[in-house]
A and B are shown apart, each in its own frame.
Chain A
């Protein structure tokens, strides 16, 4: 594989992309801490949507809010608020599912999938997941809606490429440090955000924000 074009540009013009990123933050009136590094960043949150024992599924979930559970997120600092001066420019969003096979006593995640167009990378959609596949999400930063009612089909997973389960943004989303952010996922389906529809697996949904950040 040849060196990616974006890296070539970076090498040809050392510091320019980094300077542009800092200028982007400065133009947004954000304070820059010179001790911070510009880096690739990924932040994720996993939430339970389906209780297999009770046979119920919720109809909505709010990600990057609520109780902080360390095993379900990599947000730094035990909260969903980014530390001061760690601004984050989101360039793509990923989503998918996981499960915990509570029926057999498991306590750790398994059955991970990326994307929502089909049950797995080689499959077709199935009726059990229709509630999720027809759900929509709204992304809010500091009270401002930056993405409204986006269908889950943007996270296509029938592709066996790097784009699987990934929604590349046309317009990056800036999350200033110490901001309040949320992704609210809602379905109108009576089956709710159901994933497995069995007695053994609790269903979980995850969202991941990817991009450039000061860390």
Chain B
């Protein structure tokens, strides 16, 4: 089956309008828009090995080109602002650090269904266990504060698995810092050995 999404119908009816609206959105948020930039879907990701840690921060720290699709560093060019409207998590449970760091991770959507972030081997949970809390900070402003990892439902047999679509989009301006922190909610708990997490920012922006 194939059909046009309402969004595509809207683009066909009003060519260029959405692109203009995106540029206006950036201008309204006091970000400079360079006219030579084009608008594109951006899925920006970063991954980390989290063996025996209790928390991890993405889009900061040591840059590894095998683990992120940002070019050269975690700082993006000045004019490449993006609007983040969703966040996705992937996990790898069983690949050694050195393999993950050379791009050989085996990613699975969400926190569970075999990839529970628990060191004690819980295989019965349909949701993250022990529970994780997720925070997002952009340019010093907290946009997500300890959101429950359960909101990234991982047992859905749909496109939504492992994804959280935001009620309110987040602008990540170029040349500013954004971090996503994932921390375990129960004191004393650790991620298992050979466990890695990948965070994706689902967005649209200037390239």
Point out residues on A near B: beta carbons under 8 Å.
1-8, 10-12, 14-15, 17-18, 37-42, 44, 70-71, 74, 76, 91, 94, 96, 98, 106-114, 120-121, 160-162, 164, 208, 210-212, 215
Contacts and interface: CB of A to CB of B under 8 A. Distances in A.
Given A14-B24, A44-B150, A74-B133, 20 more contacts: A2-B6, A3-B7, A4-B85, A4-B86, A7-B169, A11-B18, A18-B168, A37-B143, A40-B147, A42-B151, A71-B187, A96-B127, A108-B129, A110-B118, A110-B122, A112-B125, A112-B128, A114-B127, A162-B158, A208-B150
B21 A11 contact: yes
Given A8-B18, A15-B28, A42-B151, A74 B7 contact: no
A108 B133 contact: no
B187 A70 contact: yes
A76 B145 contact: yes
18 contacts: A8-B10, A10-B169, A14-B29, A38-B168, A39-B168, A41-B145, A41-B147, A42-B147, A71-B186, A76-B146, A107-B188, A110-B125, A112-B129, A112-B131, A120-B126, A208-B148, A208-B151, A211-B167
Interface string B4-29: 01111010000000100110110011
Contact of A212 (B8, B21, B147, B167): B167
Most buried by A among B112, B129, B164: B129
Interface in B76-126: 83, 85-86, 112, 118, 120, 122, 124-126
Contacts of B146: 42, 74, 76
Contacts of B147: 40-42, 74
B153 interface: yes
Interface residues of B, number: 57
B153 A111 contact: no
Contacts of B164: 40
Interface of B: 5-8, 10, 18, 21-22, 24-25, 28-29, 83, 85-86, 112, 118, 120, 122, 124-131, 133, 141-148, 150-151, 153, 155-160, 164-169, 185-189, 204
Given A37-B141, A41-B147, A112 B127 contact: yes
A160 B155 contact: yes
Given A11-B22, A112-B127, A112-B150, A39 B143 contact: yes
For the complex of A and B, 3 pairs with smallest distance between CB atoms: A14-B28, A110-B122, A112-B127
Given A42-B147, A74-B133, A106 B120 contact: yes
Given A110-B124, A110-B129, A11 B143 contact: no
Given A74-B148, A161-B160, A121 B126 contact: yes
Contacts of A18: 168
Contact of A161 (B25, B141, B156): B156
Contacts of A14: 24-25, 28-29
Contacts of B18: 8, 11-12
Given A11-B18, A108-B189, A110-B125, A160 B150 contact: no
Given A76-B145, A110-B125, A11 B150 contact: no
A120 B112 CA distance: 14
